[in-house]
Structures are given as structure tokens and as C-alpha cells.
Amino acid sequence: MFNPTMNSAFGRPNAMAMAYRRVGVETAVQGASPHQLIMMLFDGYMEAIAQGRGAMREGEIERKGRCIGRAARIVDEGLKAGLNLSEGGALAQDLQMLYQYVTMRLTLANIRNDEAILDECVSLIEPLRQAWRDIKDQVDHGTH
């Protein structure tokens, strides 16, 4: 049974809340469940990439850097930092490697002004985001 208050491969609730605050995703963190916090991180990531893409297209270098940097911080300081590597087994290890790769690719996309790399970064995280969204009912009802 999935218990969102317990430690899991996806993270430690207190660490996720603190990481969420650090990366500056704006919304009500107080009272949010661990599942909701991760969903907010995924959503904030996608929003930051969309804004970065827009700034890239408009030639707004400073804004592009801030937006893509925010997406990288969400992955590195939010999603990756919230992983429970000691109890999460192979899944947590695989997610850690994926998040490291995405962070590296976001940095390269920023340096090269490369929308194709942004597309890759979206395509790597979107399945996780969708899967997380899909388990919401199970989490809300305490089923597995």
C-alpha cells in the first residue's frame, strides 16, 4: 500500500517541502501532501521550461537563463534532493541518474540556445509527471 507520509523512493516529505521552498515554485506549500509537493515541482519544471523557451525565441538572454536555471534547480534541488536513496532501491538510483542527466542537458540547452535539448528534457520528465498525476486517486484513497 502506498502511504504518502512514509519515506519512499520518491522522497522524504520534509526534505521535499524545504527543497520546494528553496527552488521558488510559487504556491501554497503549507498543508500540501508529499504527492502534491512533487506534482507542484513537476508542474513548475514544465512552466519554467516553457518560459525559458519563450525567452529564447525572443532573444531575452537574461530571462532565458533565469527560467532554464529555475528548471534545473527544480530538478536538482527539488526532485533529486528529495529522493530517498537509502530506502528507494534501484528506482531511486535510476531517478537520481535521470535527474543528473536532465540537469546537465538543461545547462547545455541554456549555453547553446538549443530548443531541441529543451524538447528532450521535457520528453524525459513528462512521463514521470503523467505517472505521478495518474496515481493521485490511489494516493488520495490509500490504495496501491
> In the chain, what's the furthest Cα-to-Cα distance?
49
Residue 4 has pLDDT above 50, yes or no: no
Place of cell 537509502: 86
CATH of 13-24+32-138, one of 1.10.600.10, 3.90.600.10, 3.40.50.800, 1.20.120.340: 1.20.120.340
Residue 27 has pLDDT above 50, yes or no: no
Task: Return mean pLDDT, the chain.
Answer: 85
pLDDT score of 16: 60
Nearest alpha-carbon partner for 78 in 44, 32, 30, 105: 44
pLDDT digits (tens, 9 = 90+) for 62-94: 999 999 999 999 999 999 998 999 999 999 999
Reported confidence tier of residue 131, pLDDT bands at 50, 70, 90: very high
Question: How far apart are the C-alpha atoms of 86 and 95, rounded to whole Å?
Answer: 13
Q: Where do the structural domains in the chain lie, given as residue ranges?
A: 13-24+32-138
pTM: 0.78
Secondary structure of residue 109 in the 3-state scheme: helix
